[in-house]
A and B are shown apart, each in its own frame.
Chain A
Amino acid sequence: MKVAVLRFPGTNCEFDTQYAFEKLGHTTQLVWHEDEKLPEGIDLVVVPGGFSYGDYLRSGSIARFSSVMKAVQDYAKEGGKVLGICNGFQILTEAGLLPGALKRNNNLHFISKHQNLCVINNDNAFLNKCGKGEVLNIPIAHADGNYYIDDEGFKELEANGQILLRYSDKEGNPVVVNGSVTSIAGVCNEDKNVFGLMPHPERALEAILGSEDGIKMLQGFEA
């Protein structure tokens, strides 16, 4: 695979994301926020984590106006696959590529820890290598991860199988981590080509870092 990794002022997981995909045998290319085009022949765009524009105004709200995001909008409209991790998820919701919004965590603190996640839907290009109901251990690190969607929107998410992951205990039961609606940790769009999640699969590729569960998540895009 050829993976484009976006870089905004304040992005800080771009190198981790490159390292992760390259470790899995893929090629990566950083794309500067002022670029108006995505590189030719890419298989996936990743909007990585960090603090684009310092999270000023609202997480992701400034990055969505960048030149490169216009290109990502077009790429997604044509069915191209896009993955937003953490701040990338926030940017994708701000850009309207994913439904819902991410609010301040309900305890008002930044939360960094290893977190169990339960796979809710796997019939998509991202989680197809994970089992439905499977519990994964993936780090989280965010201040604004409290996923919100109105009742109508939530019903649509459920009906279309757009809920990807929920924060859970070891057995897969939902747990409250940051106040997200029904503990949602990740969603996709209706066409199932744009994915967003708060947890960091790129940080969970090696046993010495505490988990290898991120491998099968990122490998999902290979299929």
Chain B
Amino acid sequence: MSQPIENLDEVLKNHKLSKEEYRDILRILDGRHPNIVEIGIFSAMWSEHCSYKSSKKYLNGFPTKAPWVIQGPGENAGVIDIGDGMAAVFKMESHNHPSFIEPFQGAATGVGGILRDIFTMGARPVANLNALRFGRVRGDSDINKYQRHLVRGVVDGIGSYGNCMGVPTIGGEVSFDESYNGNILVNAFSLGLVKSDEIFLGVASGIGNPVMYVGSKTGRDGLGGAVMSSDSFTEESKSLRPTVQVGDPFTEKLLLEACLELFKTDHVVGIQDMGAAGLTSSAFEMAGKTGAGLIMHLDKVPAREEGMMPYDFMLSESQERMLICAKKGSEQAIIDIFEKWELDVAVIGEVTDTQRMELLWHGEQVCDMPIAPVSEEAPILDRPTARPAYLDEVNAKSVDDYAKVDDQEAYEKLLAPLEVVDKAWVYNQYDSMVQTNTTKEPGSLDASCIRIKENGRALAMSSDCNPRYCYIDPKKGAALAVVESGRNVAMSGARPLSITDCLNYGNPENPEVMWQFAQGCEGIKEACLELNTPVVSGNVSLYNETNGVSVYPTPAIAMVGLNDDENKVLPSHFQEEGSQIILLGETKGEFGGSLYIKELFGETSGTLPSFDYSAELRLWELVIEANKKGLLKSAKDVNVGGIAIALSKMAAVSNKGIVAEVAVKESRDIFDESQSRALVEVSKENIEAFGKMAMDLGISVSMIGQVGGDKVKVNNVELPLEEVKDIYFNTFTRTIEQDL
């Protein structure tokens, strides 16, 4: 065993370990001082990123069960039953810090990481989404220019990785707010398909079974990445660029095909990808879950360069690597498969009965510690919380406190924000059609859909979060993120089943941020219970803070739903001239956290009203059942910018005009953001049958207009269709490419 550490204080500081944690380490090692390898291991395993030490307390209460849930949180990804022996495996994960430092590689490796989480489970990834939050991109300041650079780099990175992997990126969301000026959010979602009885887990068991390393060689890239992601940003953060991993989608594609080939055999006990904290976390997690011990010879790990030390091997975050626990005697068969795909493969250790992690370097022991206290018993913190001071001020305001604005002027301003307009500049850089399953593409509004070749059904998925709502009311805002993702899924005719989440918050050491986080979890819990859409997987990203400024609370929610018939995926834009547009739900004049106040007055203020889950569920029921009966031509939810903006988007995408008259109390209410509303397109002969269904479910119905003509007119505001289309389709490119 190598020497104890001399300059201990400095080493602990560099590894972000506290004095209390060091006392725990001494206890776990039975009083022995750790060496540098062991310090590195504790540091990585107990980092916020790996241990969830600040968040665990709140995540434990999430609803995670339903008859269709096959695997809830705790594995590489969640799994739900989608009928006929098929299962969907999905998860969302953040890659925020790396993407701010190096947007192309940061975003690319974010996609690579989430894809490995999916195919580690035995599933072939079939659809990707991403949720991106940038700072202010309009303007000439250095911040604006850098943000535009980040948009271009992140999109390029996501495209380059997903495209090369042959996994379609079928949708997502992109929004912008000053709160992300110093800390962008890059959340990547992936979904894979697998037969329900062919799911693989990240476990190591069976004394004497070999532990095998497959994939890329290990280099020094990404060293300490998990620790880096567990800290706030400062001016010095740019010097952290070497901690960003470099992705190689070609190698990952080979790894995907090799793993799927391996999974058809009977050689595997368990498999885990090497993500954050690399070999350390994969080895500890695999053994920790079963109570096994492991012995690993680090000198047998394939290395990219000479001179690497045990510390480097354990903490490198080199991409495209997996750890496999194989059945004894299967070594050669596994070697053959990975060599066929021109990947590195090596037997590096075996399962023991010691419940300890023993690491050797050319025969010399460099680590010997019990596994459970490190992996399963990482510290859980109960950080102080405090209701943020800003809330009183923002909640005290209402839309009436602002000057009156001419409705036409408001309409033209609300149509142009980048979060509203079409994002073809983004999604045209993603191959959305490979695998030939995409039936509702990016740009077609609301949820994205793929058909399932194996069973003739379709999956709908949507990623949503309105950070303005979460800022003015962290609990209801988070709940509404769940609600909106579910509503989008329901609008495609699919039944929402389960969510994955990516909880992006600021610095947990700030009690106000911790309060936001706790409230956000409460909101998700409440919504998932009420809507019966359990959480099956997820990720927490804290320390999204730069120079003391935290991002808006941003719990991104991705909902997955099932449509029983691949041929009945409901579009979200107008299908036919002359058909009737019906508004479902009530318009109550809600402007809390609205686009209206943000765009016209530059503020995020107001309150969110109490929410009626029953009304929401009845709305979903109505659209899903009416679609089954063939009564609907299209359906779209009403969200930011209200009815006027929703109708304008439908008109632009369909290249069809609309004249609508909506009964409202105040004329500005065509921009209000009341929940549980939708616009549906119904042909004349079906109006009666649909009206009756709505009445039976107690949903208010207003016939507001007909599809057709060459203008978009909603009450007292209007623009020629051509002008709406020009704004809708060209604004994004004009803004993002202005520096080129």
Contact = CB atoms under 8 A, between A and B. Distances in A.
Interface of A: 9-10, 12-13, 15-16, 19-20, 49-51, 53-56, 109-113, 139, 141, 143, 200, 202-203, 205-206, 208-210
B278 interface: no
A30 to B, nearest CB: 12
Contact of A141 (B434, B566, B567, B569): B434
A177 to B, nearest CB: 11
Contact of B250 (A16, A53, A143, A203): A53
Nearest to B254: A9
Contacts of A12: 164-166, 253, 434
B433 interface: yes
A209 B439 contact: yes
Nearest to B253: A10
Contacts of A110: 159-160, 163, 428-431
A112 B171 CA distance: 13
A206 B436 CA distance: 9
Interface string B417-442: 00000001001111111111111010
The 9 A-B pairs of least Cβ separation, nearest first, read: A12-B166, A54-B250, A141-B431, A51-B164, A112-B431, A110-B429, A16-B436, A208-B439, A139-B433
B250 A112 contact: no
A55 B165 CA distance: 12
B434 A16 contact: yes
Contact of A16 (B163, B430, B432, B435): B435
Contact of A9 (B341, B433, B441): B341
B283 to A, nearest CB: 28
Interface in B638-673: none
Interface residues of B, number: 35
Contacts of B164: 10, 12, 51, 54-55
B342 interface: yes
B248 interface: yes
Best-surrounded residue of B159, B160, B164, B567 (most CB of chain A within 10 A): B164
A138 to B, nearest CB: 10
Contacts of A55: 164, 250
Nearest to B257: A9
B453 interface: yes
B569 A208 contact: yes
Contact of A111 (B165, B341, B428): B428
Interface in B396-449: 424, 427-439, 441
Contacts of A56: 250
A20 B436 contact: yes
Contacts of B569: 208
B434 A9 contact: no
A9 B250 contact: yes
B341 A112 contact: no
A9 B439 contact: no
A53 B249 CA distance: 10
Best-surrounded residue of B165, B432, B434, B453 (most CB of chain A within 10 A): B434
Contacts of A15: 435
B260 to A, nearest CB: 11
13 contacts: A10-B250, A12-B166, A16-B435, A49-B434, A51-B166, A54-B253, A109-B159, A110-B160, A111-B428, A111-B429, A112-B427, A112-B433, A141-B431
Nearest to A109: B429
A54 B434 contact: no
Given A51-B249, A112-B431, A113-B424, 17 more contacts: A9-B250, A9-B253, A10-B164, A12-B164, A12-B165, A13-B166, A15-B435, A16-B436, A20-B436, A110-B160, A110-B431, A112-B428, A113-B428, A200-B433, A205-B436, A206-B436, A208-B569
A98 B248 CA distance: 30
Contacts of A210: 441
Interface string B234-252: 0000000000000011110
A56 B253 CA distance: 14
Best-surrounded residue of B433, B453, B566 (most CB of chain A within 10 A): B433
B432 A112 contact: yes
Best-surrounded residue of A19, A112, A113 (most CB of chain B within 10 A): A112
B332 to A, nearest CB: 20
